[in-house]
Amino acid sequence: MASTSPNPASLSAPLLSDSISPAHAANGHAANHRHHHDGAVAASVCGDAGDPFAFLSEDRPPRDRGPSPADPFRNGTPAWCGGAYAWARTLLLLPVAAVRLALFGLAIAIGYAATWVALRGWADTHVRPREGGGPMPAWRRRLMWITRISARCILFSFGYHWIRKKGRPAPRELAPIVVSNHISYIEPIFFFYELFPTIVSSDSHDALPFVGTIIRAMQVIYVDRFSPASRKAAVNEIKRKAACNSFPRVLLFPEGTTTNGRFLISFQHGAFIPGYPVQPVVVHYPHVHFDQSWGNISLLKLMFKMFTQFHNFMEVEYLPVVYPPEIKQENALHFAEDTSYAMARALNALPTYYSYGDSMIMARAVEAGKVNCSNYMVEMAWVKDVYGISTAEVMELLEHFLAMNPDNDGRVKAEDFWAHFGLDCSPLCKKIFHYFDLDIKGLITFRQFLVGCAHLRKQPLFQGSCETAFEKCRGPETSEISRAQLADLLRLSMVPPSDDKMLELFKTFDVDGDEKISRDDFMACLGRFPFLIAFFAALINGEVYIEIV
């Protein structure tokens, strides 16, 4: 049983004199520990109850309502494949599918050949489009009509025999930027045929066979979404091309990935930063048995299902032009929100705080073979807005969470959580775990883990506490911490683990793997796992606490 604080209003209070040095306390504990195997005494930052992080701030993490129950990435085709009707339809249409596949291949070949000729000898595009290049000459654009007709033949081969359209594209001079929701790979093919726009595309698409050549003819703007410099350059290129009527209009999918069409995920701001009027377009795929969204379904399976449908329905609606707000400081954020709400109303869909980062999280959970992978999503747009944490940092935390043996619902027990760090579930460790487990269920989700870490790292005293902890932990003659020193320091807050488990914890702090904890290692570790700062609370405060276990 752990001793309680004399002052219940405080998180913890020293039970020994503040004049006792941490070194003496550690030595005293070591001697006591050798004589009391069943009732070991160790230093602790707090009693049985209380917040182990109160020394950082009085601010507790918000009681999170939890993620939205919506899953914007899940394909809605029934797992049982639609029953007898679907099987009969598939068998009946197999010969038709073969003909459609042949038409698809022929259209791709003709479109590629026409595009190759159109690009031949054009100085502005050898391997990749040159930034700052001029618009495509008129005769080359006319030649690209062959490829555009080929694109319509591709849509026909996929079962889109007719496409219902509502509204009309606004003149390019009025709305040089077009934005659309993104449900399948079908929309880029349709817009290529309908508008022949300039598009913004990932770097990786340039290497795709046939496709890479065709999108280069659209004078594509390449972007690496994980590179701030690349994103900035892409925004500048969008602005340059939108400003010149000699270029085609610019098309963007601001969601950044495909969804199932029943929800809108958070918009990226690249289309809205330049401050030009935007025409939103919404795409619907009405269906009964076969959901045409490119969600948690492979490309080949999706193509096969399209080939074996009598007809696939597609509806495209051009919405009124949305103009940027007059207050320039609010331009991108409010402009994106206004456009998102207009599109959500037209789609009868719900806007959410999910983003492209959530699709990455779910894909990684699928890759790891986890069940109910949507339970790992965290609404990345909300997390970034509130805590400023990057997608790369989230993905790194996810790797550690997946290594903690989550159950089928994506939740981790305290014992498995601490075993990942080589620790037993001591009273202090339980208190730290309860900081994440606000519902006191003995289990935490990835979202709770992420929000708890981000909240701690955002506390005003966190960085200074990390600096103070390292200065008090490092050796008097060195600027590093050895494994033996770390074990001694842990005695100020808990019974230190066995040598084998201590090695695991030491490896967590020894980020560069050089068998010593430098200042950079220490700060990087606590930046990644900020809850570990609780182990050094007594040292930071210059106090000693007693924990009896």
Lowest mean pLDDT among 13-22, 136-145, 181-190, 235-244: 13-22
Q: For strand 546-548 and strand 41-43, is the pairing parallel, antiparallel, or unpaired?
A: antiparallel
pLDDT at 528 exceeding the cut of 90 = yes
Tell me how far apart the terminal alpha carbons of the chain are, to the nearest angstrom: 6
d(CA 483, CA 462): 24
Dihedral of the alpha carbons of 234, 194, 158, 99, in degrees to the nearest 10: -120
Please report the pLDDT score of residue 27 as a whole number.
Answer: 39
Predicted confidence band at 50 (pLDDT cuts at 50, 70, 90)?
low
Q: What does the pLDDT look like over 392-429, one tens digit per residue? A: 999 999 999 999 999 999 999 999 999 998 888 888 88
At 17, the pLDDT band (50, 70, 90 cuts) reads: very low
pLDDT value at 346 more than 90: yes
Q: Which residue has the higher pLDDT, 477 or 141?
A: 141
By three-state DSSP, how is residue 351 classified?
strand
Position 332 confidence tier, pLDDT thresholds 50, 70, 90 = confident
**Please, which pLDDT band fits residue 281 given cuts at 50, 70 and 90?**
very high
Indicate whether this model's pTM tops 0.85: no
Cα 226 to Cα 17, 356, 405: the distances in Å are 52, 11, 29
**CA 327, CA 307: separation in Å to the nearest integer?**
49
Judged against a pLDDT cut of 90, whether residue 488 lies above it is answered with no
Set out the domains of the chain in order of their start, with CATH numbers.
Answer: 84-351 (no CATH), 362-456 (1.10.238.10), 459-541 (1.10.238.10)
Chain center to CA of 360 = 5
| pLDDT over 50 (residue 31) | no
Q: With the CA atoms of 12, 17, 18 and 20 taken in that order, what torsion angle do they form, in degrees rounded to the nearest 10? A: -120
User: Residue 121: is it exposed, middle or buried by C-beta count within 10 angstroms (0-12/13-18/19+)?
Assistant: exposed
R_g (Cα) of the chain, nearest Å: 29
Confidence of residue 252 (pLDDT cuts 50, 70, 90): very high
Most confident range, picked from 137-151, 325-339, 468-482: 137-151
Would you state the pLDDT for residue 145?
95
Quickly count: other Cβ atoms within 10 Å of residue 6's Cβ.
Answer: 11
Rounded alpha-carbon distances, angstroms, from residue 485 to 32, 488, 516:
18, 5, 10
Residue 6 binned pLDDT confidence (cut-offs 50, 70, 90): very low
Q: What percent of the chain has pLDDT over 90?
A: 44
